[in-house]
Amino acid sequence: MDLVEWLITRDSIAHRADATARGFSPSHVRAAIRAGHVRRIRSTWIALEDAPRELFTAATAAGRLTCLSLARRRKWWIPDNEDNQHHLQVGPNAHRLLKDVTFHWAKPLVDRGDRVLEASVEDALAHIAQCLSQEDALSVWESAVKIEHLDLESVRAVHWPDAASRNCANTIRGMSDSGLETIFVVRLSPWGVPIRQQVMLAGHKVDVLIGTHLVVQLDGFAFHSSSADRTRDVAHDAQLRLRGYTVLRFTYAQVIHDWAYVEATVAAAIARGLHLSPAAQARRA
């Protein structure tokens, strides 16, 4: 395997010390740079032309991807109104003259050494808690818990550096199937009605169950998108109604951009006692 082939296996970018450890001598690397086969970044990194831009930027700044940048790279859920800047965890020797970069200077929770371009999951979560609103931060944290298969007790045992991070760690449930679901639950939590997530009813899980009989299904961008999915959802809704449940279904656009409508609709359903069982509704009448 030559140097270019090796770089391809490493996201097209690598620390020169790793290249040396792999058996590529410093003179071999210098020759590849002179020939234009690879690019040098500062004195310590080499990359191919197609290296991911965010990793190239991190190497140029002597930093690591963190916060929303690491979230995007690891495919965590991100609010659609967040910036597209590169978020970098950096030390005192960082290159500060880069454009479209947000620097995070705090001491790392996990020191991953100088040969990696991604901060730890814990550091990224801490930076997200500091950068975003509580609601949005919780949505990203819930997504990270699901995608990274994080244990809630382990997350809460971390020595988080600030109140925002500690609040996220103590609030997450590990139940949300999407960031949209987290936003919905966070907004309704102060209402004082029982709320459960991902409850199995009529053979399938529902996103949110309010009380015992008010089902809320949330149609995000990445879910319920195909014709087959839609057919399955309609059939499931019918089965739920036959069993006495009220089903409310909201889209991403409604939850994010027309919350007043969503809130009013759910409030009206609760006011009518639709979150209660038919027997409880009859007693209430």
Q: State pLDDT tens for residues 112-171.
A: 989 999 999 999 999 999 999 999 999 999 999 999 999 999 999 999 999 999 999 999
Residue corresponding to tokens 């382990």: 154
Q: How far apart are CA 49 and CA 68, in angstroms?
A: 24
Range of the domain at 75: 57-171
| Last residue in a domain, options 153, 171, 189 | 171
- Which helix H or strand E contains 7, and what residues bound it? helix 3-8
Same domain, 66 and 161: yes
- Under DSSP, is residue 241 helix (H, G, I), strand (E, B) or coil? helix
Same domain, 16 and 120: no
pLDDT at res. 123: 98
Is the per-residue pLDDT at 109 higher than 80?
yes
| Last residue in a domain, options 171, 203, 224 | 171
The enclosing domain of 274 has a CATH number of: 3.40.960.10
Same domain, 151 and 76: yes
Asked if 206 and 199 count as a contact pair (C-beta separation under 8 A), the reply is yes
| Last residue in a domain, options 146, 171, 196 | 171
Same domain, 44 and 68: no
Q: State pLDDT tens for residues 3-55.
A: 999 999 999 999 999 999 999 999 999 999 999 999 999 999 999 999 999 99
Asked if 131 and 68 count as a contact pair (C-beta separation under 8 A), the reply is yes
pLDDT at res. 119: 97
> Taking Cα atoms as reference points, which of 134, 139, 125, 124 lies closest to residue 78?
139
Same domain, 151 and 197: no
Count of domains forming the chain: 3
pTM of the model: 0.86
The residues, ordered by sequence, that sit 6+ positions from 70 with a Cβ below 8 Å of its Cβ are 87, 118, 119, 121, 124
Same domain, 189 and 262: yes
Confidence band of 224 (pLDDT split at 50, 70, 90): very low
Eight-class DSSP state of 243: T
Is the per-residue pLDDT at 214 higher than 50?
yes
Confidence band of 67 (pLDDT split at 50, 70, 90): very high
Asked if 48 and 148 count as a contact pair (C-beta separation under 8 A), the reply is no
